[in-house]
Amino acid sequence: MGNNKDWTDKEIEDLKNRRIDFSDIPELTPAYLATLERVVPREHFKLVPIKKAISIKLDSDVLEYYRSKGKGYQTRINKVLRQDMLRETAPAYGKVNNEPHEEEDS
């Protein structure tokens, strides 16, 4: 058989009626499914968050450090906060192992 244009009506009908052989596909048992880990491609995380103006108190040395880096310091602070948030909310994000993210008391 060639491309679809060369197929006869009978050949197309035979294809529709042909049973698919699933014998080489492993059975999806609950035990097997429990071993799988859900992975979401990072492209799906590329959302454009809505920025919100707030007032936040930072240690002066922390603020000066980020300000000294020049324009975009608020974006850099936001990036650090987002990375910390994702470590806790997206288990596979930025982790080498499956140990929980530990918080330090301030």
**Residue 51 corresponds to which tokens in the numbers above?**
């920025």
**Residue 92 corresponds to which tokens in the numbers above?**
């596979």
Chain segment 4-34, per-residue pLDDT in tens: 568 899 998 998 899 888 889 888 899 988 8
Instruction: Indicate the DSSP class of residue 62.
Output: H
Q: Which helix (H) or strand (E) holds 34?
A: helix 30-34
Structure confidence at residue 103 as a pLDDT band (50, 70, 90): very low
**Residue 2 corresponds to which tokens in the numbers above?**
């060639």
**CA torsion 21→26→28→29, rounded to 10°?**
130
Domain boundaries, the chain: 7-89
**Residue 7 corresponds to which tokens in the numbers above?**
């197929």
- The answer to whether residues 79 and 71 touch, using CB atoms and an 8 Å cutoff, is no
Structure confidence at residue 2 (pLDDT): 45
- The CA distance from 31 to 12, in Å, is 39
Question: What DSSP string runs through 33-50?
Answer: HHT------GGGG---PP
The model's pTM is: 0.43
